[in-house]
Amino acid sequence: MAAYLVRRALLLALSLAVSSVALFVLLRVLPGDPANALLDVGATARQAAAARHELGTDLPLSQQFGGWLRDLARLDLGRSLVSSLPVTSEIAGRLGVTVPLTVLAFLLAALIAVPTGFLIALRRGTWYGTLLAGVSQLGLAVPVFWVGMLLVTVFALRLRWLPAGGFPAEDWAAPAAALTSLLLPVVTIALVMAASLTRYVHSAALDVLDSDYLRTARALGAPLRAALWRHGLRGVAAPVVPILAIELASTFLGAVVVENVFALPGLGSMLVRAFAQHDYPVIQGVLTLSTATVLTIGFVADTAQRLIDPRLRRTAAGTSA
């Protein structure tokens, strides 16, 4: 296991390095000019050149890359070309929204999807099993912004229980207000995420229910619930954990639609704006962080899967030996 962990950690570092370099080059090769975001219409060509010089985007790529590497070595992601603020603190500010939003939505989705998926599998053939399956199918077809707007219409505009959007100016210094602002967005993401997760849990549960080992356990006299708890859960977890990891990773940046609907200052909306302005340091900072996050989540999920499923450990040990 230790050798596996070291190997995976090295792989993670290498992936990160390669993706960073690729990102750096790609961003600057793509057409677009960050100076455009700063210039007034009516600004002269001389002013445009001066702006590029000021931003350092007129330097040769190799020189820009060297500067970026030097900064990175000091854990400095540079400053935004547009706002002049340090990218690190900009990102930190946004994480205060994105991390709770993602984690809470993910937990809620798992809380909904795991029992529902099981229930649909256990109650196949009954009317409410079919109904639940139908509802989860419907959830897959519904776009996330639509769910968000529906929830806003009902809970913010009609009932006036929750804010329609925005985030308190005091940030987490006003914890109740901050949490309230996140409630509808969390539910929005969770509902949509739960719909697809339910299907995975459902099919994994079906496999388990039809498995030989569960039949054996029941033949030995264990009631279904106990058999499922003791043997089934692990069987379901093995295929579902990687799916959970993918869902979690995609929510991290995929929350941008929800952020726009609810006017939340998250990482996704920051990235979209930075792309529009060709604000390279911000784009690079956010994407590097999210690449690292996604790779880490994948790493954790793989490790968890090996812990859950002893068969993986054996085959891996066999091949790596």
Partner 1 sequence: MGGKLKFQIRRLTAALSVVILSATACVSSPSSSASASCALSVGSLYEPQNLDNAGGGGQGAAEALGGNVYEALFRLTETGAVEKSLVSDYTVSPDGLTYTFVLRRGVRFHSGTPMTSDDVRHSLRRILAGTSTSSRRNVLDMIKSVDAPDDHTVVVRLSSRSISLVYNLSQVWIVNHTLADPKTAEDGTGPYRLASWKRGATLTMERFGGYWGAAPKCGQVTFRYYTEAAALNNALLSGAVDVVTSVQSPDALAPFSDTSAFRITEGTSTTKLLLAFNCRRAPFDKPLVRRAVSAAIDDAKLLRSVWGERGMVIGSMVPPSDPWYEDLSGKNAYDVEAAKRMLAEAGYPGGFPMTLETPQYDPHPTIAEFVKSELAKVGITVTIDIISADEWYSRVFQHHDFAATLQEHVNDRDIRYYGDPGFYWGYDNPEVSDLIRRSESAKTTREQTELLRRANHEIVEDAASDWLYLNPQIVVASAHVTGYAANAVQAQFPVYGIDKR
Tell me the C-alpha distance between 116 and 203, whole Å. Answer: 12
> Does the footprint of partner 1 cover residue 152 (CB under 8 A)?
yes
Count of residues in contact with partner 1, rule CB under 8 A: 54
> Does the footprint of partner 1 cover residue 26 (CB under 8 A)?
no
Q: How many Cα atoms within 13 Å fall on the side-chain side of residue 122?
A: 11
Smallest gap from Cβ 88 to partner 1, in A, equals 13
> Does the footprint of partner 1 cover residue 40 (CB under 8 A)?
yes
User: 190 vs 261, which CB is nearer to partner 1?
Assistant: 261
Q: Considering only residues 157, 224, 226, 317, which one is a binding residue for partner 1 as defined by CB under 8 A?
A: 157
> Does the footprint of partner 1 cover residue 171 (CB under 8 A)?
yes
User: 228 vs 261, which CB is nearer to partner 1?
Assistant: 261
Smallest gap from Cβ 50 to partner 1, in A, equals 5
Classify residue 158 by burial, with Cβ atoms within 10 Å: 0-12, 13-18, 19+.
exposed
Q: Are 190 and 105 in contact (CB under 8 A)?
A: yes
Tell me the C-alpha distance between 153 and 142, whole Å. Answer: 16
User: 49 vs 226, which CB is nearer to partner 1?
Assistant: 49
Q: Considering only residues 20, 116, 198, 269, which one is a binding residue for partner 1 as defined by CB under 8 A?
A: 269
- Identify which of 98, 135, 246, 258 has the alpha carbon closest to the alpha carbon of residue 189: 258
Q: Are 115 and 70 in contact (CB under 8 A)?
A: no
Tell me the C-alpha distance between 87 and 301, whole Å. Answer: 29
> Does the footprint of partner 1 cover residue 39 (CB under 8 A)?
yes
Q: Write out the two tokens for 137.
A: 């199918």
User: 46 vs 74, which CB is nearer to partner 1?
Assistant: 46
Binding to partner 1 in span 270-299, by CB under 8 A? 270, 273, 275-278
Tell me the C-alpha distance between 132 and 202, whole Å. Answer: 11
Smallest gap from Cβ 246 to partner 1, in A, equals 27
Beta pairing partners, 86: 79
User: 94 vs 202, which CB is nearer to partner 1?
Assistant: 94
User: 162 vs 300, which CB is nearer to partner 1?
Assistant: 162
User: 156 vs 297, which CB is nearer to partner 1?
Assistant: 156
> Does the footprint of partner 1 cover residue 37 (CB under 8 A)?
yes
Tell me the C-alpha distance between 116 and 122, whole Å. Answer: 10
> Does the footprint of partner 1 cover residue 262 (CB under 8 A)?
yes
> Does the footprint of partner 1 cover residue 239 (CB under 8 A)?
no
> Does the footprint of partner 1 cover residue 36 (CB under 8 A)?
yes
Q: Are 274 and 253 in contact (CB under 8 A)?
A: no
> Does the footprint of partner 1 cover residue 83 (CB under 8 A)?
yes
Part of the chain binding partner 1 (CB under 8 A), chosen from 1-9, 106-114, 198-206, 256-264: 256-264
Q: Write out the two tokens for 43.
A: 């600004």
Q: Are 12 and 310 in contact (CB under 8 A)?
A: no
> Does the footprint of partner 1 cover residue 99 (CB under 8 A)?
no
> Does the footprint of partner 1 cover residue 144 (CB under 8 A)?
no
SS3 (DSSP) at 142? coil
Helix residue ranges, H only, the chain: 2-29, 35-38, 45-55, 61-73, 87-122, 127-141, 144-151, 175-209, 212-219, 224-227, 233-254, 256-261, 267-277, 280-308, 310-320
Enumerate binding residues for partner 1 (CB under 8 A): 31-33, 35-48, 50-51, 54, 82-85, 90, 93-94, 149, 152, 156-157, 160, 163-169, 171, 260-266, 269-270, 273, 275-278
